[in-house]
A = this chain, B = another copy of it.
Amino acid sequence: MRDFDENNITQSVIERFANTPDPRLKTILNSLVTHLHDFIRDVDLTFDEWQTAIKFLTRTGQQCTDTRQEFILLSDTLGVSMLVDAVNHRQRNGATQTTVLGPFFVHEAPALPLGANIAVNAEGEPLYANGVIRSTNGKPLANATVDVWQCNKDGFYDVQLSPQLNLRASFKTDQQGRFYFWSILPTSYPIPYDGPVGDLLTATNRHPYRPAHLHFMISAPEHETLVTHVFVKGDQYLDSDAVFGVKNSLIEEFKQHAPGTAPDGKQMPHSWRSFTYDFSLKAEHENLDHHP
């Protein structure tokens, strides 16, 4: 085949993928090529614009390091991450709503005992977090893994500042499915905007802020792993989250408390906060919207 033009090239590229051994890869590539070509025909992309796109994608890849994932930021700010989340979690059946993973999860978070303070020498308003992990049938899940990570009072995650991990931990629930730990109040913060994704936000007059939240990744045997946030009620960016991640059911009041005694008996000389959020995990046999 020769003499490709705008009318025949899409089918010709798809035919070139005809011998792909993995049928799922073939399906994905055929669809990708179809939609990508439709986009180019739709806007009559110029050669200069194509060059700009090539440079933008190259810069995006080269901005990535072990602790920064610019392509996830791009996916997040284009609503792609939340859409992927949505098509994979159509039927919740009472399970906690999901939201984006984000670029700051790390696999090496320290395993800490329940009640520990995940804020090591970090300034900020003390925060007591607690809740119960249950299966959607209501049964508490003992020994579930609760990974938590959050920003500091200035809006930065540990990996953005130093190799020293902080404000993240991996807990195991107790026999009643409970988790509880100390931290500090997170703040709303801009996603990293000193790279190509920041340039795109600037060029489109979009702000880079996310409303304050804690990240949770919760897993238990025979249950679907839950990736979600708990958002701080009242945050000014709840309606304009740069990554489209907010769901009303994930917003919780972070109660203010006067100095005194905390639920675990700790004496608090200054004011402090707390929130309670109970999570429901979907049993794997409930996963009816999985596509083979």
On A, residues with C-beta under 8 Å from B are 1-6, 9-10, 12-13, 16-17, 19-22, 25-29, 31-47, 49-50, 54, 57-62, 64, 69, 71-72, 75, 78-88, 90, 203-206, 238-240, 244, 246-248, 291
Q: With A60-B61, A71-B54, A204-B19 known to touch, is A244 a contact of B12 (CB < 8 Å)?
A: yes
Indicate which residue in B10, B42, B62, B75 contacts A64 across the interface (CB closer than 8 Å): B62
A80 partner residues in chain B, CB cutoff 8 A: 36-37, 40, 50
A75 touches B50 (CB 8 A): yes
Q: How far is the CA of A98 from the CA of B26 in the complex (A)?
A: 30
A45 touches B87 (CB 8 A): yes
Protomer copies: 2
Q: How far is the CA of A129 from the CA of B35 in the complex (A)?
A: 41
Indicate which residue in B25, B41, B291 contacts A87 across the interface (CB closer than 8 Å): B41
Of all chain B residues, the one with the shortest Cβ separation from A87 is: B44
B2 touches A238 (CB 8 A): yes
Q: With A13-B244, A244-B13 known to touch, is A35 a contact of B42 (CB < 8 Å)?
A: yes
Taking the nearest CB of chain B, how far is it from the CB of A105, in angstroms?
A: 11
A31 partner residues in chain B, CB cutoff 8 A: 39, 42-43
Report 6 cross-chain contacts, Cβ distance below 8 Å, ordered by A residue.
A12-B79, A13-B78, A21-B205, A29-B204, A41-B87, A44-B88
Q: With A20-B204, A58-B71 known to touch, is A2 a contact of B248 (CB < 8 Å)?
A: yes
B69 touches A10 (CB 8 A): no
Indicate which residue in B44, B60, B71, B85 contacts A291 across the interface (CB closer than 8 Å): B44
A46 partner residues in chain B, CB cutoff 8 A: 84, 88, 291
B204 touches A25 (CB 8 A): yes
Of all chain B residues, the one with the shortest Cβ separation from A40 is: B83
A33 partner residues in chain B, CB cutoff 8 A: 78-79
Taking the nearest CB of chain B, how far is it from the CB of A40, in angstroms?
A: 5
B4 touches A50 (CB 8 A): no
A244 partner residues in chain B, CB cutoff 8 A: 4, 9, 12-13
A248 partner residues in chain B, CB cutoff 8 A: 2-3
A13 partner residues in chain B, CB cutoff 8 A: 78-79, 244
A69 touches B84 (CB 8 A): no
A79 touches B10 (CB 8 A): yes
Taking the nearest CB of chain B, how far is it from the CB of A211, in angstroms?
A: 10
Taking the nearest CB of chain B, how far is it from the CB of A64, in angstroms?
A: 5
